[in-house]
Amino acid sequence: MGDIRIIGDLNGLGASLLPIMEQNIDNPELMKKISRISGSLVATEKSTGVAITVIFDKGSISLKDGPVEKPSAALWTDFDTLAAYSCGELNPIVGVLKGRIKVRGNLLKLLKMVTIMRTD
């Protein structure tokens, strides 16, 4: 299994997504797609305001509790929508169009980065 660097103590959102992300970094096809990305993605669970940041640095991935100041992209959603996305039940573009996911920043980069949280 590959490694994801954990920065600080993880909140429950990070702890919930970490096993999925760890599984994904062992997927060569997925890693090929995201290995050139540099940037950060902030994901916030909107009912609690709990946030995590996933930092991409050309193949190396870190997970941090809380948001960073200027992420490349950010998304806000509820846990159930995040769960539906992460298990492949919800297309992220449909989620955005239906207003279930709010996004900010570089959308193309976000769509690539967020695949690290998805298990199909």
Q: Which residues bind another protein (CB under 8 A)?
A: 10-13, 15-20, 23, 45, 47-48, 50, 79-80, 82-84, 86-87, 89, 119
Compute the least distance from the CB of residue 40 to another protein, in Å: 20
d(CA 90, CA 86): 8
Distances in Å between the Cα of 101 and the Cα atoms of 2, 12, 46 are 29, 19, 10
> How far apart are CB 82 and another protein at their closest, in Å?
8
Pairing between strand 60-65 and 73-77? unpaired
Round to whole Å and give the CA distance between 35 and 38.
8
Judged by CB, which is closer to another protein: 53, or 86?
A: 86
Nearer to another protein, 84 or 96 (CB): 84
Q: Which is nearer to another protein, 20 or 103 (CB)?
A: 20
